[in-house]
Amino acid sequence: MRPPPLPELPAYVELFRFVERGHDSLLDYLAEHWRDQYGFEDARDYVIERLTDGRADLLLDELDEVLGGESAQEAQGADDGVTDELTRLATRFPRAPIAVTCHRHG
């Protein structure tokens, strides 16, 4: 039995930058980043198509870095927002691999 093919598009996101930019949608953030960084105007539709059929994977780095803010309440709100978005994406794109990293502190 052959293993499934690897996704053709790794979409890498530093989660603290996603939170810093104030987006609610990781797809909107990714599309904006690719437009600004690479001049890719139709990135959102491209990524959605590939996530839908499993040809893209999301590599989401440094979940622990989103716990910033002036207070514990702000930190918890940022963490909850990211967690909700990750759950929404995993539900919407069940064929897409999603990897999330988190560094262990102390």
- For the chain, how many structural domains are there in total? 1
pLDDT of 50-106, one tens digit each?
999 998 999 999 887 776 666 666 656 666 788 889 999 999 999 999 999 887 664
Instruction: Determine the number of helices (DSSP H) and then strands (DSSP E) in the chain.
Output: 4, 3
Specify if 93 maps to a domain: yes
Specify if 106 maps to a domain: no
Specify if 3 maps to a domain: no
Can you give the residue range of the structural domain that contains 44?
9-100
Specify if 75 maps to a domain: yes
Least confident of 24-28, 29-33, 51-55, 100-104: 100-104
Contacts of 11 (CB under 8 A, 6+ apart): 30, 47, 51, 56, 57, 58, 59
pTM of the model: 0.79
